[in-house]
Amino acid sequence: QITLKESGPALVKPTQTLTLTCSFSGFSLTTTGVGVGWIRQPPGKALEWLAVIYWDDDPRYNSSLKTRLTITKDTSKNQVVLTMTNMDPVDTATYYCAHRFNLVPGDVFDVWGQGTMVSVS
Residues that bind another protein (CB under 8 A): 39, 46-49, 52, 60, 62-64, 96, 98, 101, 103-110, 112-115
Handedness of CA 40, 106, 61, 34 (dihedral sign): positive
Spatial separation of the C-alpha atoms in residues 98 and 121, rounded to whole Å: 26
Q: How far is the CB of 76 from another protein (least distance, A)?
A: 26
- The nearer residue to another protein, 11 or 47, going by C-beta atoms, is 47
| Distance, CA of 82 to chain centre | 6
| Residue (84 or 116) nearer to another protein, CB | 116
Please identify, using beta-carbon distances, which residue of 85 and 114 lies nearer to another protein.
114
91 phi/psi in degrees, rounded to 5: -85, 0
